[in-house]
């Protein structure tokens, strides 16, 4: 046995160094590997080798091996070697000589020794370590055959079909679903490396069996509030593993549909997570582990955001508008199922545990603050509800809106309050977006965009008052203002959002600016209300020296502009404000900065941290439309003031948007902005014009 270990160890180290073993031929190595697996007692399926599991794991992870490895340890080493050989052959990372050597080893094992049957048997054993390593070896070789020979291994295919047609929780089913998921992920990641139609061929082979297995593995009875789903097995731990693997497989199937949506073929199995989402929702109210319920909601969130498989490296998915014939109706079915569940108090069944604080998730946070709760779960639930409402209002069909947008938002806010999110009644409810999504920019932008669309739709269809919208946390002005407050009104962070492709901020921002332009007074009222509240009021320091400081800023601004442009256009309004007008010809007023006078209010006590200093370039000299170099945002945010009869937040918002326009204009002129920002700049200019005109 020691001799076999040294042979396998030498082969494994040679493979890692991309060389061929010099002490034995390829046939001898294949024979030794086959013998180690065959000598493993066939009663592995009864769990008799479970006592060796810890030793086997140590063997594989330690550089110092046991001097007397047992049969299980040798089998684990063989399985690891087989998986590595197949992976190297698939990726073609070996030299020609080494590639021929290990390809010959693989050929002898799988074509002449029926090694796949042995691996499939081990994959179904009760020893979890052996089962998982065997599943990895099987999957790796199946991928190799698909990529290099465009064939599906018949033994693997037959075993998977057999297990899926009669699913029963355990290692056999877990190994099957895990292996199928791994193979599909590999093909989807590098579709161009496989023959066209490979994914479709795999889906067609397993479509019927997967559909049947799904109906047996998830709750099938309709549940009401207070009832819980039951499973055919009383072993909750086994079902947790089974459902976790099934959910991973469902995400891959859905991602395959999004990625291949340009084709006319749509398989039933790839539609399951959409058209039978009610069964997934019932898992949340079942007696399974918390992490399974969390995985369900994260899956539904990614599907509704069209990001299924995003973390698996599948690339950008096709939009719903370019999907197959059933895509629109399927996504609406999912939205209807979610809204119907909310209507029947499903949210009351959704658990939110304390956030794990230790690596591995075994520890729990202490305390009663909202920070102690699982914000990942809160964000998932919130986005599932919001996106479902968004799809609902965008569609003319569906099953009908039972309780209205306000009812759904009220139910969501009640859920958040009951789960520990500290929200006050009334107008302050809008801060829930920042409280729940503050740690995740992409999710926050999706939530803000959905709420904006819901507000605009509801405003058109009914007489809507701002106070009523704030009660259910749906006022887009509040959401935008809280966003700016969270980033200290730093325009450079907004610029980062605009340039980044990781969020939908551009789409949201353009939509909101249009709304802001059309509802200027509504925004002013929101700023005044928030600044006047005890909860949201900022600490401002006001002193007599502010008047003199503002005069100095105005004088410096005029002198700098006169030096760089040669002309300055000023207008004296009733409030005593000074307007600096961009000299570029334009059909409407294009003020670059308005400094109105009135009661003094300090902007901030400390400057915000910058992600990127966009004004530090050697070529960042003052140009038309730019703020002068002497008047930076750091100056404006450090012991500076803006005199106005408006609220603090109102003035700081306009200042932030003005500075953003200046920077985007500069980047656009130098062809440094990643896209054409003409429409965006036009909207920002219109906002500035609104601000200056309001001072007349």
The 3-state secondary structure of 646-663, one letter per residue: CCHHHHHHHHHHHHHHHH
d(CA 581, CA 567): 10
pLDDT digits 0-9 by tens, 62-103: 444 444 567 888 899 999 999 999 999 999 888 999 999 999
> What does the pLDDT read at residue 387?
97
**Is the per-residue pLDDT at 627 higher than 70?**
no
Residue 266 has pLDDT above 70, yes or no: yes
How many whole angstroms separate alpha carbon 590 and alpha carbon 546? Answer: 27
- Rounded CA separation 593/100 (Å): 71
Output the CA–CA distances (angstroms, integers) from residue 323 to 197, 204, 248, 328, 618, in the order listed: 17, 19, 22, 8, 47
Q: Write the burial class of residue 682 (CB in 10 Å: 0-12 exposed, 13-18 middle, 19+ buried).
A: middle
b/e map 322-334, b = 16+ CB within 10 Å:
ebbeebbebbbbb
Least confident of 622-631, 654-663, 666-675: 622-631
- Chain center to CA of 513: 25
The mean pLDDT value of the chain amounts to 77
pLDDT tens digits for range 110-121:
999 999 999 999
Listed range (137-146, 184-193, 493-502, 536-545) with the worst mean pLDDT: 536-545
Asked if the model's pLDDT at residue 668 lies above 60, the reply is yes
Query: Cα dihedral angle (575, 580, 582, 585), rounded to 10 degrees?
Result: 50
At residue 281, does pLDDT exceed 90? Answer: yes
Q: How many CB atoms lie within 10 A of CB 91?
A: 12
Distance from C-alpha of 97 to C-alpha of 107, rounded to nearest angstrom: 15
Buried b vs exposed e over 361-387: b needs ≥16 C-beta within 10 Å?
Answer: eeeeeeeeebebbbbbbbbbbbbbbbb
Q: What's the confidence (pLDDT) of residue 621?
A: 46
pLDDT of residue 635 exceeding 90: no
Per-residue confidence (pLDDT) for residue 48, from 0 to 100: 44
From 274, 293, 295, 278, select the one nearest 342 (Cα to Cα).
278
pLDDT confidence of residue 498: 95
- DSSP state for residue 250 in the 8-state scheme: H
When mean pLDDT is compared over 1-5, 39-43, 179-183, the highest value belongs to 179-183
When pLDDT is averaged across residues 394-407 and rounded to a whole number, the result is 62
Helices and strands (H and E) in the chain: how many: 28, 2
Q: What pTM does this model have?
A: 0.81
The better pLDDT of the pair 45, 243 is held by 243
Q: What angle do CA 574, 579, 583 make, to 5 degrees?
A: 140
Cα–Cα distances (Å) from 427 to 478, 482, 531, in that order, read 9, 13, 12
8 A C-beta contact, residue 623 and residue 629:
no
Residue pair 513/684 in contact (Cβ under 8 Å)? The answer is: yes
Poorest-confidence range of 153-167, 334-348, 393-407, 617-631? Answer: 617-631
Give the integer Cα–Cα distance in Å for 225 and 22: 68
Whole-number Å distance between alpha carbons of 129 and 605:
58
CB distance 444 to 433 below 8 Å:
yes
- The DSSP-derived string for 336-356 is HHHHHHHHTTGGGG---PBPP
Identify whether the C-beta of residue 691 lies closer than 8 Å to the C-beta of residue 577. no
Q: Phi/psi at 354 (nearest 5 deg)?
A: -65, 145
Q: Check residue 569 and give its pLDDT.
A: 38
Mean pLDDT lowest for which of 265-269, 619-623, 691-695? 619-623
- Between 591 and 493, whose confidence is greater? 493
- Residues found in the chain: 696
What is the C-alpha separation between 421 and 411, in angstroms, rounded? Answer: 14
Banded model confidence at residue 628, pLDDT cuts 50, 70, 90: very low
Q: Minimal CA–CA distance to 429: which of 451, 458, 456, 403?
A: 451
Short-list 318, 317, 325, 278, CA closest to 300: 278
Check if the beta carbon of residue 493 is closer than 8 Å to that of residue 611.
yes
105 pLDDT more than 90? yes
The answer on pLDDT for 574 being more than 80 is no
The pLDDT value given to residue 551: 56
User: Which region holds residue 426: left if phi is over 0, alpha if psi is between -120 and 50, else beta?
Assistant: left
- The predicted pLDDT at position 235 comes to 54
* Cα distance between residue 377 and residue 292, in whole Å: 11
């Amino acid at each position: 046995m020691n001799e076999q270990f040294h042979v396998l160890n030498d082969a494994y180290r040679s493979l890692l160094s991309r060389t061929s073993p010099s002490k034995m031929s390829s046939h001898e190595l294949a024979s030794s590997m086959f013998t180690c697996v065959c000598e493993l007692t066939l009663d592995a399926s009864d769990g008799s080798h479970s006592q060796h599991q810890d030793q086997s794991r140590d063997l594989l992870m330690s550089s110092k091996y046991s001097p007397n490895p047992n049969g299980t340890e040798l089998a684990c080493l063989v399985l690891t070697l087989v998986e590595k050989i197949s992976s190297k052959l698939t990726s073609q990372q070996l030299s020609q000589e080494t590639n021929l050597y290990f390809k010959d080893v693989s050929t002898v094992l799988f074509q002449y020794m029926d090694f796949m049957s042995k691996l499939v048997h081990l994959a179904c054993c009760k020893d979890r370590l052996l089962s998982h390593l065997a599943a990895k070896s099987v999957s790796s070789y199946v991928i190799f055959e698909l990529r290099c020979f465009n064939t599906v291994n018949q033994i693997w295919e037959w075993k998977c079909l057999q297990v899926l047609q009669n699913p029963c929780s355990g290692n056999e089913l877990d190994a099957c679903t895990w292996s199928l998921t791994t193979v599909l992920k590999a093909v989807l990641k590098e579709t161009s490396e496989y023959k066209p139609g490979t994914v479709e061929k795999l889906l067609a082979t397993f479509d019927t069996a997967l559909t049947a297995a799904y109906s047996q593995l998830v709750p099938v009875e309709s549940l009401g509030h207070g009832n819980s789903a039951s499973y055919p097995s009383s072993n909750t731990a086994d079902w947790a593993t089974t459902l976790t693997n099934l959910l991973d497989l469902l995400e891959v199937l859905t991602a395959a549909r999004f990625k291949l949506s340009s084709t006319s073929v749509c398989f039933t199995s790839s539609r399951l997570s959409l058209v039978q989402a009610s069964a997934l929702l019932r898992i949340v109210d079942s007696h399974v582990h918390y992490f399974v319920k969390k995985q369900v909601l994260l899956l539904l969130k990614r599907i509704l955001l069209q990001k299924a498989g995003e973390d698996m490296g599948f690339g950008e998915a096709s939009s719903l508008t370019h999907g197959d014939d059933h895509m629109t109706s399927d996504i609406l079915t999912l939205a209807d199922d979610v809204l119907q569940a909310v209507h029947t108090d499903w949210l009351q069944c959704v658990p939110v545990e304390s956030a794990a604080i230790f690596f591995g998730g075994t520890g729990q946070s202490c305390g009663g603050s909202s920070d102690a709760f699982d914000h990942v779960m809160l964000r998932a639930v919130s986005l599932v509800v919001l996106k479902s409402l968004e799809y609902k209002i965008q569609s003319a069909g569906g099953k009908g809106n039972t309780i209205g947008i306000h009812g759904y938002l009220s139910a969501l806010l009640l859920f958040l309050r009951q789960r520990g999110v500290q929200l006050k009644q009334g107008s302050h409810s809008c801060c829930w977006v920042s409280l729940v999504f503050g740690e995740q920019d992409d999710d926050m932008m999706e939530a803000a965009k959905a709420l904006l669309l819901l507000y605009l739709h509801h405003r058109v269809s009914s007489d809507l008052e701002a106070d009523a919208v704030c009660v259910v946390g749906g006022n887009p002005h509040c959401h935008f203002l809280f966003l700016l407050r969270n980033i200290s009104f730093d325009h450079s962070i907004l610029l980062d959002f605009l340039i980044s492709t990781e969020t939908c901020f551009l789409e949201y921002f353009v939509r909101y600016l249009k709304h802001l332009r059309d509802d200027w007074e509504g925004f002013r009222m929101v700023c005044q209300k928030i600044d006047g509240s005890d909860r949201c009021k900022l600490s401002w320091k006001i002193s007599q020296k502010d008047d003199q400081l503002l005069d100095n800023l105005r004088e410096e601004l005029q002198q700098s502009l006169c030096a760089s442009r040669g002309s300055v256009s000023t207008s004296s309004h009733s409030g005593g404000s000074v307007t600096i007008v961009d000299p570029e010809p334009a059909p409407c007023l294009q003020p670059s900065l308005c400094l109105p006078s009135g009661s003094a209010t300090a902007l901030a006590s400390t400057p915000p941290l910058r992600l990127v200093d966009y004004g530090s370039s050697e070529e960042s000299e003052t140009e038309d439309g730019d703020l002068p170099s002497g008047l930076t945002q750091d100056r404006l945010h450090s012991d500076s003031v803006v005199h106005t009869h408006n609220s603090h937040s109102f003035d700081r918002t306009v200042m932030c948007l003005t500075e953003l326009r200046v920077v985007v204009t500069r980047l656009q002129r130098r062809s440094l902005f990643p896209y054409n920002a003409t429409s965006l700049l036009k909207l920002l200019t219109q906002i500035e014009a609104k601000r200056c005109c309001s001072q007349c």
